[in-house]
Every structure is written in C-alpha cells, then in structure tokens.
Structure 1
Amino acid sequence: MAPPIVTVVVQPRGKSIKKLPKEVQLASNASTQELYNSLAEASGYSIHRLRITKATDRALIPNSKESTIEASGLGEKSVVHIKDLGPQIAWQTVFIIEYLGPLLIPALFLFPLRPYLYFNFDTIPEPSDLQLLVCGLLTVHFLKREYETIFVHRFSNATMPARNIVKNSGHYWLLAGCNIAYWVFRPDAAAVTKQLNPVLLYTGLALFVFGELANFNSHLVLRDLRRPGTTERGIPSGFGFSAVTCPNYFFEVVSWVGVYLVSGLSWSVLFFIVVASAQMALWAQKKERRYRKEFGDKYKRKRFVILPGLF
C-alpha cells in the first residue's frame, strides 16, 4: 500500500521569497531533505539558504535523509515557515580564507613590506635567524591548517552566512597575522636584540613539533567519527581525549607556547594565545555539554575541557 500524500502549507518568515509555493505535496515517508529540495527548486534558492521550521512550535525541520515528514510531526495541512538565511558561503571556503591571511602576512611583513612598515628606523637590518625561524613556524602551522581544511575536516554544516566572513577572518588576519608579524619582526624585537637562551629555543621547538603532530592526530580521530556526507557523531577516544574534552585545542595551545618561546617571549604572541585560548575554551565547554546531552551515560564526563588540571 502506497504511503499517504501529505499537503504541507508553506509560509515565508521574515522577508518574502519570490516563487515560493504556497503548498507542497510529499509522501508521508518522504525525507525532510526532499522538502528542502522541493522548496529550493521552486524558489531558485540554494538549499543551504533556506531554514524550515514548524509553525506550531518553531522547531527546526532538519535537512536530513534520515528524518521523514511523518516523524517530524508534519501532517495534512501542517504549516511550515521558510526563512531566507541570505547568501551563503561554504565552511571549507571560510577556513581557507581565514588561514590564508596569517599564512602569507608573516613572509610579506618580513621581506617585501619590511622597508615600508619600519620606515621610522634609521637602519633596517636583515631579518635575524630567530625571526626567520618564527616566520617558518607560522608558515608551517597555517599550511597544516589549510591542508586539514581541504583533506581532513568534515563539516557538520555545509555553509554559513557570507556576511560573517569578515568577522571570522579578522581574528586570524589581525591577531595571528598582522599583530604577531609586526611586533616579532621589528628591527628592535627581542628576536633581534637579545640572545635567546638555548633552553627556551629548543624547548619551544620541541613543544611546537609535539603540539602540531598531536593536534593533527586529534583531527584525524575526530574526522573518523563521522562518515563522509553525514552529520552523525561518535564519542572520540584516543591520545588526549581521556584527559580533556578537546585535546585538539590543548595541543593547539602547546604549539603556540612553542612559538612564544622561540619568539623571545614576545608579548604579541602571548596576547594571541590568551585570546585564542579563551575562545577555544568557550567552544570546548559547549562541546562538553553537547556530548553529555547527546550520548548520556555512554559518555564519560570530563572535568577539564581544554587544559588538563586547570580548566
């Protein structure tokens, strides 16, 4: 016996959407993804630009192959609201743009832009070995980030509002790019004027290498929790995951502490570490709450979310 056909009433929420149909008809066992596809095709909008909620309780209708019309509580003449989220940009593209700035800015500040940035100095010496080393560490770090974005990460959300790209990129372009590069590469920076203690140098390099490799391993673990093309999640386990909720963030901090030591204890690197750590701590707290809610007793609750023994 064929499943019954359900007529869903469609109403725009917020600004009007041209060509939006007043009704769509779908089988009761059709996936909610088919509802999105139907409305996207009719309106001419990207499927990722539409947000569909139930009029009764404003609950989100997921864009999912696993969720059905009937299971979502939609019946004959049920009303759904359609919101235009505005122009979208792929999350992968967002990350590529975010990391491109701090990938290129250090080398630009250290070489072609150097005479123009430090014009007020009587003499501008060639970059010191430590400055070249810091530039190399920053380049390696953000090249790794770009590689992970393209080949490792699987994104739970396909897109984000395009207008947010400036805000999202500002953190990396200004703090990790311009802030660090300008101050560390100055002719009077500690990386030029002071002889760095070998203990700090080699400790910093060791922390950087360890942090980068461990962070990469954490990303591989997180990647393997999700099958390609799905948004399902599993409980992560492995190196670091028994100590904190987000060891990838912890190892990120370790890596940056390494850069801080190699830079000659530059305040600009320390400032970036503090700001970035605070943001990552907020993300880690949210992830811990989500794990507890999503997996219940199956998940071993963590006392510390990012820094073992501290936070």
Structure 2
Amino acid sequence: MTLTVTISSASKSAVALEFPGKSASEVTIRDVKVALASKVKKLYVERQKLSQEGDKKALDDGLKLTEVGFDARTEQCRLSVKDLGPQIQWRTVFIVEYLGPILIHPLIYYLPRVFYGSEVQHSAVQSYVFAFVVLHFLKRELETLFVHRFSHATMPAKNIFKNSAHYHIFSGLLLAYDIYRPKYASASNFIVNTYRNNPQFLNACAAVWLFAELSNLSTHLTLRSLRPAGTGKRGIPYGYGFGLVSCPNYLFETVGWLVICVMTNSIAAWLFFVISTGQMAIWAAKKHRNYKKEFGKDYPRGRKAMIPFIF
C-alpha cells in the first residue's frame, strides 16, 4: 500500500500526494509542502500553511506524518492547506524598513531650505541626533545582513507597506522634520544657555546611547548563537542582558530612543518612543510566554519579559 496524503483546500478540489517506498515516520510536513508545490506551481513552499483537517493551527515543517493524524490502517493522512498569498523574504522587509530613515534624515538635515524655506545652522544636539539615528539604522541593516537568523523565511508581501510605514513615517519623516527645524538651531532660544547646549550633558547622553547600542548588538549575537543556520530551533538564552529579562534587545533599544527623547524633548521623538516601546512590549510578552511554554521548568523563573522586576 502506498503512503498517500490528501490535501484539501477551501477554494480548490482536493489534491492527492503519493510517497511510494516511504513510511509515515519518514515523511515530514516540509516534504508534503515540496510535493504539493510540484503539483500546484502557484503554491510554492513559503506560500503554504498546512494544518490538520478541522484545525487552523499551522504545522511545523519538521513534524512527521505519524504526529499529525496519520491513519496506519489505510496508509493515508488528510491535511488542509491555506494559501498565504504572495510572500517576501523577511530579510528584504527589514532592509526596506530601515532604509527609509537612513535616506530621509540626511535629506532633511542637509536640505533644510527645501523643507523649512530657510537655512538652518545646526546645533550640537541636532548633529548628535542625526548621527545617532543614522548609525542606529545602519547597524540594523548590518545586523539584518550578517547577524539575524529568521525562524520564518517569509511574510505576506502586502505587509511590507504596513511594516515600513512605522519606520519611514514615525522614525523617519516626522522625527527628522521636527528635530532639524529652526526651533532646534544653534541660535534658537530653545537651545542657547540650556542643557541641550551643554557639552557635558550631550557627551553623557552619547555615552548612554552607545552603551545601549552595543548592548543591543551583544544580545543579538547571543540569540544568533542559539539558532543553528537554516533552522527555527532555539535554546534558552543566557549571558549578558538575559539575567533579568527574556528580551534585553528590546530593553536596550528602548534606552537608546529614550536618550533622544531626553536630549530633545521633541514631540515626534516621544511619539515614536511610545509607539515603538508599546510594540516591543507586545513582542516581548509573546516571546516570554513562548519561552516558558517551550522550556517549562527549565526556564529561569525570575525573568521578566522586558523591564527588570516590572514587566
């Protein structure tokens, strides 16, 4: 009897896939996706979401058919597929997201007459923030290319517009337009004889910002070491930053943006800080729950999600 997997779809007739000479304990969900893609060209592997019939939960690629409702009497397994639509690489999404602020900030910083109708003699705080923002997103681009490993290869292509808007609008256009305007110029009353023009204060802020950025990078390197290339597996993270929270990368990024808020007291900076910190808190809570669910009693009990001793 030949091993057969029947794939049903809400919009199309069922497709029968045969695996001659193989047992259910050998065939994985990934193998089924590859076989389905060879029969239905539109449904390339990354576009498929396979579930057990009557269940909407996506099945992990590494699961064997014996783990997903295989009927040993008939040598058959019934699964359902959902078309996730056109997909785009997560790495590409990140590159596009971070490229926005890298391009927008220099445009507004170096071409103030175009945006404000007059030249702006930049103050030290404007120059510091310009350097912080551009260096931050250049770092993010380099991490995307050389550090990050992704548990999922792709995402729906349409989401790139929503994801990019967060960075292009809030940390790009709004932040740059607010901070590089004449209000923050070197001769402005908002700057002259205030803490925003104090070299010691600015240097202290730069030191805290650099600490946050390097700490963030360190945690990303730790997370990379826990995920073998080409897999979605992960281990329990330990080491610098992970003693008190599950997601110190989000904690350190929050500190970096808080520095810019304190330096400028910019409405746009505070708006981006609140939105981005809220989003990171949601991601941190989800990752924290997943860690505890995946590792159970082995996961350190004292850890919080993102903010030590609090959350």
Once the two structures are overlaid, the 10-residue window that deviates more, 39-48 or 25-34, is 25-34
Aligned counterpart, 1:249: 250
Structure 1 residues 59, 309: CA separation in 2 closer, same or farther (over 3 Å shift)?
closer
Identical amino acids, percent of aligned pairs? 39
Aligned counterpart, 2:6: 9
Aligned counterpart, 1:185: 180
Does structure 1 residue 74 correspond to structure 2 residue 75?
Answer: no
Aligned counterpart, 2:46: 48
Contact 1:246 1:305 in 2 (8 A): yes
**Equivalent residue letter for 2:69:** G
Aligned counterpart, 1:95: 94
Structure 1 residues 52, 271: CA separation in 2 closer, same or farther (over 3 Å shift)?
same
Aligned counterpart, 1:214: 215
Cα shift at 1:92: 0.5
Q: List runs of 5+ in structure 2 lacking aligned partners.
A: none
CA distance in 2, matches of 1:199, 1:191: 17
CA distance in 2, matches of 1:107, 1:146: 17
Secondary structure of 2:141 counterpart: helix
Deviations 1:77-101 (A, max 9, x none): 3321111110000000010011000
Cα shift at 1:284: 0.8
Aligned counterpart, 2:274: 274
Cα shift at 1:162: 0.4
Aligned counterpart, 1:229: 230
Does structure 1 residue 23 correspond to structure 2 residue 2?
Answer: no
**Equivalent residue letter for 2:298:** K
**Equivalent residue letter for 2:297:** D
Contact 1:99 1:146 in 2 (8 A): yes
Contact 1:154 1:228 in 2 (8 A): yes
Secondary structure of 1:10 counterpart: strand
Contact 2:125 2:202 in 1 (8 A): no
Contact 2:47 2:87 in 1 (8 A): yes
Cα shift at 1:21: 6.5
Cα shift at 1:125: 2.8
- Supply the RMSD in Å over aligned alpha carbons: 1.8
Deviations 1:81-131 (A, max 9, x none): 11111000000001001100011111011113x222112xxx433333332
Aligned counterpart, 1:169: 164
Cα shift at 1:167: 0.6
Deviations 1:56-82 (A, max 9, x none): 444433223xx2222322233332111
CA distance in 1, matches of 2:83, 2:8: 12
CA distance in 2, matches of 1:274, 1:138: 17
Contact 2:126 2:185 in 1 (8 A): no
CA distance in 2, matches of 1:162, 1:214: 32
Aligned counterpart, 1:304: 304
Once the two structures are overlaid, the 10-residue window that deviates more, 186-195 or 99-108, is 186-195
CA distance in 1, matches of 2:156, 2:130: 32
**Equivalent residue letter for 1:51:** K
CA distance in 2, matches of 1:226, 1:192: 51
**Equivalent residue letter for 1:47:** V
CA distance in 1, matches of 2:202, 2:55: 59
Deviations 1:158-200 (A, max 9, x none): 1000011111111111111011100000012276521323343
How many residue pairs get aligned? The number is 297
